[in-house]
Amino acid sequence: MKNFIKIFAVILTLSIVTVGCVDKKEEYRTLINKGVKELYKSNYDVANQLFEEALQLDSNNSEAYFYLCQGKFGLADYKSALTYSTKAIDKNPKFGEAYKSRAQINFILNNFEASCADYKKAMQFGIKNLDNYLNYCD
């Protein structure tokens, strides 16, 4: 009987932990989806708040940092957008869209060499149709 109780306790604990992880992932996904909808409506402050909440659930996910970059860009807060695009790249060094965003921000901030380097990285990681931007690079 004692073994049964121990086994039951272990199974119950694992079930609770598993459900908690699934709920956390679902909540993260819901926050990201809501934030993206707000981005499309140009509600940047609302979107940024949702992305920040998502980061509280998963601070290692490059997606939320990328979308925060987009929201800050929409508010013309280019220095913050640059910071968040860099964090997205730090979390996922093969994130082509994040390189493209950072290239655009660096261009606006007159960091042309950094912009060219990021456009080249974006192409390396699958982003297409950047030839017009790269024409201005060495």
Give the pLDDT confidence of 20-55 residue by residue, as tens digits. Answer: 555 889 999 999 999 999 999 999 999 999 999 999
Q: What is the pTM of this model?
A: 0.81
Identify the H or E element spanning 138: none
Structurally, how many domains does the chain consist of?
1
CATH number at residue 76: 1.25.40.10
- Each residue of 71-111: pLDDT tens digit? 999 999 999 999 999 999 999 999 999 999 999 999 999 99
Residue-by-residue DSSP string for 50-69: HHHHHHHH-TT-HHHHHHHH
| Residues present in the chain in total | 138
**Res. 16: pLDDT tops 80:** no
What is the residue range of 90's domain? 2-134
pLDDT score recorded for residue 5: 61
What distance in Å separates the CA atoms of residue 3 and residue 123, rounded to the nearest whole number? 59
